[in-house]
Amino acid sequence: MDYREFFSQFKHLSEKPGIGGKIKVFPEDFIVVEEPLPQIFKGKRYAIFLLKKRNWDTMAVIKEIAKRAGISHREIGFAGTKDKHAVTYQYISVPAEIKEKVDAIQIRDVELRFVSYGKFIKLGHLIGNRFMIIVRNVGVNAFERTKEIIRELREKGGFPNYFGYQRFGEKRVVNHIIGKLLLQGKFEEAARLFLGYADGSMEGDEARRNFWETGNVERALEEFPRFLRYERTLLYTYRKTRSWRRAFLSLPMPILRIFIHSYQSYLFNLYLSRRIEELPLNEPLVGDIVVQVKGGIPYRDRTYRVTETNINFVREKIRTGQAMVSGPLFGFSVRKAKGLPGELEEEILEEEGITLETFKKLPKPMAEPGGRRELLIRPMGLIYGYLSEKGMCFRFFLPKGVYATSLLREIMKDH
């Protein structure tokens, strides 16, 4: 199953036909510019560089810079991962004493420019991202169709804030399933899927299929390519401990958390899709949890419940762009909705055979408290138009954690 098939289960909010087309035909078709928090530039212990990369995975380029600078990749800070098949600009922090070394690094399709001194950049140290995206091979009347879709979505309060396909795996769309199996304590089944699932288009797929059929760990260690380092770590640890649980815990914590976050994201997307079908998104209901918004930026840690007493007040806040209805990022201490929204949350958990306590039973570093996320998002500064014979060009700004591909999905209707 590829990501298009996977995403077809999630409803579009816009009912009008899309413009079709393709994104990321060339890396230059997808440009991302990070808007950092101003606080990162306060301090002297770290040197802040602007990193421009083309066709590089964020973690891969961070590791390459670290290797050439002679430091651990953990000493390099960055605010968030960026798309690989794109041209992206983001800020990184390195220890001040190696500024000259980093200045001298030359890597193909990578540029590093010293900006200033500051503090260590942590995940989440950004306001959002600016995008310039070209959609090629669009259908006829693409401009007029775009205009109609955007008008329709503005009337409905914004774009559905789905987690994008990057969260689940573009080719091997299994991260969320592995996450669910880990939550359920089914470590052997999770390992079989992580190691053995092949989509038929990637190097190492034959080795994966062999493991899927035989479960032979020794053979897998011989056949799995070296670049599948996390898979090989899992196999080595299992051979040593004969425990798939211990094998998973030998992986770096960020990798383990990807699986859990992916399953949380899947449940959120399910909730959002069901809400499009059954309940309003831009109209607060008694029992809803609402996220505060300032200057178009949602503050997901500032929430309040809709009651019969304050519903008119909340309705006005939503109308003036100062609040948004939220959906659940399920976890052991998530603030649950009540009323009809709460019933929908419970239905999804029951259908999945999961309870909130399940998120607490994970090994401690993986335990997920959960949170809330706005159901709709309003891109800022959205402009669009034809770009000669290339197709349509879109420019906009999105707060952190919001996927440009989900916004374009409503316009393109490609999946």
**Contact predicate 70/101, CB 8 Å:** yes
- Residue 163 has what DSSP assignment? P
Please choose, from the candidates 144, 168, 151, the residue with its C-alpha nearest in 3D space to the C-alpha of residue 3. Answer: 168
Domain definitions of the chain by residue range: 3-21+137-161+378-412, 27-128, 175-251, 280-374
Q: Specify whether 83 is catalytic.
A: yes
Select the CATH number that applies to the domain covering 27-128 from these four: 3.40.50.12280, 2.60.40.1840, 3.30.70.3160, 3.40.50.2300. Answer: 3.30.70.3160
Phi, psi for residue 308 in degrees, rounded to 5: -65, -25
Burial 19-43 (b: 16+ CB within 10 A, else e): bbbebbbebebbbbbbbbbeebeee
222-248 pLDDT per residue, tens: 999 998 989 999 999 999 999 999 999
219 has pLDDT over 90: yes
d(CA 415, CA 413) in angstroms, rounded, equals 6
Burial 303-321 (b: 16+ CB within 10 A, else e): bbbbeeeeeeebeebbeee
Residues 149-156 have a mean pLDDT of: 96
132-144 pLDDT per residue, tens: 999 999 988 999 9
Per-residue pLDDT at 361:
80
First-to-last CA distance in the chain?
13
35-90 pLDDT per residue, tens: 999 999 999 999 999 999 999 989 889 999 999 999 999 999 999 989 899 999 99
**Contact predicate 174/197, CB 8 Å:** yes
d(CA 233, CA 241) in angstroms, rounded, equals 12
Phi, psi for residue 162 in degrees, rounded to 5: -65, 145
Radius of gyration of the chain (CA): 22
1 has pLDDT over 70: no
CATH topology of domain 175-251: Hypothetical Protein Yqey; Chain: A; domain1 (1.10.1510)
CATH 3.30.2350.20 fits 280-374, yes or no: yes
**Set 83, 109, 288, 414: catalytic member:** 83
